[in-house]
Amino acid sequence: MRYGRVIILCFLVAAGFGASLLGAADTSGSYRVVHGWPELPDGFALGEVSGVAVDSHNRVCIFHRGDRPILCFDGATGKILASWGDGMFSKPHGLRIDDKDNLWVTDVGHHQVYKFSRNGDLLMSLGAKDVPGLDRNHFNRPTDVAVAPTGEFYVSDGYGNSRVAKFSAQGEFMLDWGTKGDQPGEFDTPHNIALDAQGRVYVADRGNSRVQVFDGSGKFLYQWKSPELGRPWGHTVAVAKTGDVYVTDILGSRVQKFVKATLKP
């Protein structure tokens, strides 16, 4: 169980950070670990936790590489409220929850994106299972999803491809942009994607150690790249309701905050 406890600690840190972005910020600036949270069944240990998100009912959902890969807990008590996904996934990766409390996950092993209801009903799947590709019907190890209030969504596609793909709320392919490279609008492992209230698309371009920002049609607007920024990694870009942007840096082992006043228009 030692391995499981280590993963739980990492999960708690991520869950607390995610909750602060949803508006439940601890203004004192201090956090503490809640020991014994979450409540796991006897003998059950989490695998690698690749995604965590909080819904509007304070349900904390995780995506992990083990049995019952999607688990949702009560945020206050840590009790398991739902679990599903056994046998569905090859290598869990990204997890997002939209404003209707639907769960979106990416599977870099099966090259697919899934949308679930908060109760675990499969609402949509995109990509051909176990068939990588670069077109409107295929992904190559997609990493993350960002969902707009309109229901349109963006996929960072990701490890095998070097693009962002945009889809309608019904899952119809709309457009994509990006190729392998280091110039504006090009990517080297687009690993994470997020949206702000103005519809700008923030892409953590991991291999190029930068964050690129686009409009909703894929037009390059600007980028953040500097020694201070380091190397964006993991689920690394989060946009708060205030408009502030948070970026994690794996090289510096830190989280950086970009306040709204410093963002380019």
Mean pLDDT of 158-175: 97
Q: What is the pLDDT of residue 78?
A: 94
pLDDT in tens, 205-230: 989 988 899 999 999 999 988 766 65
Residue 26 has pLDDT above 60, yes or no: no
Q: What is the pLDDT of residue 22?
A: 35
Mean pLDDT of 173-193: 96
Q: What is the pLDDT of residue 216?
A: 97
Q: Within 13 Å of residue 200, how many CA atoms lie on the same side as its CB?
A: 21
Q: Which residue has the higher pLDDT, 159 or 52?
A: 159
Output the average pLDDT for the chain.
Answer: 83
Task: Please tell us whether the domain made up of 99-265 is placed in CATH 2.120.10.30.
Answer: yes
Residue intervals of the chain classified under CATH 2.120.10.30 are 99-265
Name which of 16-20, 146-150, 196-200 the model is least confident about.
16-20
pLDDT in tens, 79-88: 999 999 999 9
